[in-house]
């Protein structure tokens, strides 16, 4: 698991919580914020943005990754995800697939209203990601 100082984790959690305040979520009323720490030390914050055509909505985690890429970042060390629920929510499968592309071993910190932190690596949450490579070793397969 990526080694993070308690101060750095606190900063990411605070920034993710703050990002959730900007969420556009008139359909779910579930305001999510993400704060992504890139390999170069920058932090990218984002929120979820919903759309009446649900499939066009975007999660906070993917939005943060896309911002990182658009601003020249190339890797993820950690991402904190704040959700307005008693228990922390982890990123959805689509977000995990995108996070995997830029930070297989990145730390994912989930936090809810009660400030309970859940920590996992991206690779622990998405054990068999989609890949175009035939070199992907699938657990339990003969490949």
Residue-wise pLDDT for 11-29, tens only, equals: 999 999 999 999 999 999 9
How does pLDDT run across 27-48, given as a tens digit for each residue? 999 999 999 999 999 999 999 9
Is 138 part of any domain? Answer: no
- Told to judge if 61 belongs to the known catalytic residues of this protein, a careful annotator would answer yes
Is 57 part of any domain? Answer: yes
Residue 136 to residues 67, 117, 133, Cα–Cα distance (Å)? 28, 31, 6
Count the domains in the chain. Answer: 1
Is 133 part of any domain? Answer: no
pLDDT of amino acid 93 = 96
**Per-chain mean pLDDT for the chain:** 91
CB atoms within 10 A of CB 107: 22
pLDDT of amino acid 1 = 45
- CATH number of the domain encompassing residue 87: 3.40.140.10
Residue 79: strand pairing partners: 36, 108
CA distance 110 to 130: 23
Residue of 61, 101, 105, 113 marked active site: 61
Q: Which helix (H) or strand (E) holds 100?
A: helix 93-102
pLDDT of amino acid 134 = 56
Is 107 part of any domain? Answer: yes
Domain that holds residue 60: 6-125
pLDDT of amino acid 2 = 46
Is 134 part of any domain? Answer: no
Is 1 part of any domain? Answer: no
Q: Point out the residues of the chain with pLDDT beneath 50.
A: 1-2, 141-143
Is 72 part of any domain? Answer: yes
pLDDT of amino acid 12 = 97
pLDDT of amino acid 3 = 59
Global pTM value: 0.89
Give me the half-sphere count of Cα atoms (radius 13 Å) on the Cβ side of residue 138. 9
Is 101 part of any domain? Answer: yes
């Amino acid at each position: 698991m990526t080694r993070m100082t308690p101060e750095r984790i606190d900063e990411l959690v605070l920034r993710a919580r703050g990002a959730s305040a900007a969420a556009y979520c008139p359909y779910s009323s579930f305001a999510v914020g993400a704060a992504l720490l890139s390999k170069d030390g920058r932090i990218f914050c984002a929120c979820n943005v919903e759309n009446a055509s649900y499939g066009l909505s975007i999660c906070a985690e993917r939005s943060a990754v896309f911002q990182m890429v658009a601003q020249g970042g190339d890797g993820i060390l950690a991402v904190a995800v704040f959700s307005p629920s008693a228990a922390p929510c982890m990123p959805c499968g689509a977000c995990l697939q995108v996070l995997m592309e830029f930070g297989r071993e990145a730390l994912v910190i989930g936090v809810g209203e009660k400030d309970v932190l859940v920590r996992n690596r991206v690779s622990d949450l998405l054990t068999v990601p989609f890949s175009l490579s035939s070199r992907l070793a699938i657990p339990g397969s003969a490949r």
